[in-house]
Each structure stands twice: as structure tokens, then as C-alpha cells.
Amino acid sequence: MLKRTLTVALAGVTAMALHLITSPAAGAAAYGCSGTQVGSWKVPMKDALDGGTYYISDVKLFYNARTGWNCAALVKRSDHQRYGEKTPMYLEMYNSRWAEDNWKNNYDKDVGRFKYHAGPVKVYGRNICVSIHAKHGDHTGPGDDYNGRLSLSGVACD
């Protein structure tokens, strides 16, 4: 009986720990960001064989109200077969001032082959809308083929 009670208690503690690890507050620091999560969007992938849609990553956007900075990461889903394997990922973010003043505070990007996430990318965002472009490939071989794309314009207009 004691062994069964300990097993049930351990399962409960494990579930609580997993919840804390995946919470938005814990997520910000895990991706090199600070602040509160203000958005999360799935990056749709197109299956080359049947044309169906599936998802292996999400864009997570954080805003730090104290500093006025937005921070984003393109995060692989832990339940996908490519999690932990290097795949091509591309993430860029810019604010609405980018067109007339393209300096570092208004634009940032991260491109490469990553195991878990691309980013962080950070732009200033107090009273400014941001736009995000994300691309993700579902292969580990050579090349930068991106069969997943997401474009968001005018989000997080704080």
C-alpha cells in the first residue's frame, strides 16, 4: 500500500514539474527572452505527398512591459520526430519603424539549423506593432528547403 501511495505521489509531482517547465513564464527564459508571453502561432507545414497540413513548430512572442522590448522564438514541438535533430529554421521580426530606420532595434533575425528553437530575436516595441516571418524545414539532410511558412503582420501593437 505504501509503495502504491508513493508511486501515485511521484506521478503527481512529475506532472506538476512538467507543467511548470512548459508554462509561459518558464518558457521566456528558456528561449533567452524576458517578459510575458503575448502570442503563440502554429507554423503550418505542407506534406509533399498528400498536400495535408501538419505542425512541428510554434512562434512564441514575449513582451517586456518594463523595457518595451518584444522577443520571439521559433520553437519545435517536443512530440515531433525531428525534435532534437538539426533542421533548417528561419525567424525574423521587425517593427513598424523598420522601413524608414533599419537599425538593430527595429530588426532582428536568426537563421540556421537548430535542434530545439531558432531565436531569440528582439526588437523594440513600445507603442509599435511588430511583424514576424517564420520558416521551418522538416528534414535533416543538406539544403534549406522550407515547407513550413508563417507571416504575421501588425501583431503585439502595445
Position 20 confidence tier, pLDDT thresholds 50, 70, 90: very low
For 100-156, write each residue's pLDDT tens digit: 666 668 999 999 999 999 999 999 999 889 999 999 999 998 888 898 999 998 887
Indicate whether this model's pTM tops 0.75.
Answer: yes
Task: Name the strand (E) or helix (H) holding 12.
Answer: helix 2-21
* CATH no., domain 31-155: 2.60.40
Position with higher pLDDT, 25 vs 62: 62
Torsion of CA 134, 148, 60, 23, to 10 degrees: -160
CA 143 to centroid of chain Cα atoms? 22
Who has greater pLDDT, 101 or 25?
A: 101
pLDDT at 24 over 60: no
Question: Model confidence over 74-95: pLDDT tens digits?
Answer: 999 999 999 999 999 999 999 9
Distance CA 76, CA 59 (A): 9
Res 10: pLDDT: 37
Q: What is the pLDDT of residue 102?
A: 64
Confidence of residue 99 (pLDDT cuts 50, 70, 90): low
Mean pLDDT for 8-16 is 37
